[in-house]
Amino acid sequence: MFQFIGKCFFLVLLCLFSNCKKENYYTSVPDSNEPANIDIVIHGFTGQGYKKQSLEWDVQADVSYVSYATSKIEMKNLHLLSYGSPPETTQITSDAATMNRDTSDMIIRDNVEVKSSNGRQLYTNLLNWDNAKKELFTDAPVKIIYPDGEIIHGMGMKSNGGLDKLIIYQPVGVHTSNND
């Protein structure tokens, strides 16, 4: 009896899928640029972070690669909006980022731009976010632009998410310009 049911089931599946093309079953074609140990590839990734039912951040990426083994999400073309005390917001964009799924800590890299609602802007190629401390930090070269046009170049910095408590580790140049 079970053999008969198994054969019928196989024939039904064969009839249903005989006209389907193989490529219709792939949700993602493997790419040599994809990170290792990927479980899910999401095109048009969006996510949100909450604390005590209050929205803390929104994140979007063109493509994300989720790994359960490493508990990491690799993102391409990141756009992050972080919400502080109203009306404080901070916008972060970059070419790539890695988020720890357990802690929400992030390593943000390649053409990183941070723009806060207080008018301060930060440019670097590597930036870390410590979610527990609510702190941005890096040892990489940075460029900070203040709303009054003052520009500070330096090596390394740390700040709160809104860029209003900012420490530059090694300032290397200060000037005022509207074109730089």
Q: Write out pLDDT tens, residues 33-79.
A: 666 688 899 999 898 888 888 888 899 999 999 999 999 999 999 99
Distance CA 57, CA 81 (A): 6
- Classify residue 25 by its DSSP letter: G
Q: Which domains does the chain have, with CATH numbers?
A: 37-176 (2.60.450.10)
> Which tokens go with 5?
């049911």
Beta bridge partners of 135: 130, 160
H or E, element range at 69: none
Where does the chain have alpha helices with state H? Answer: 2-17
Whole-model pTM? Answer: 0.76
Predicted pLDDT at 96: 96
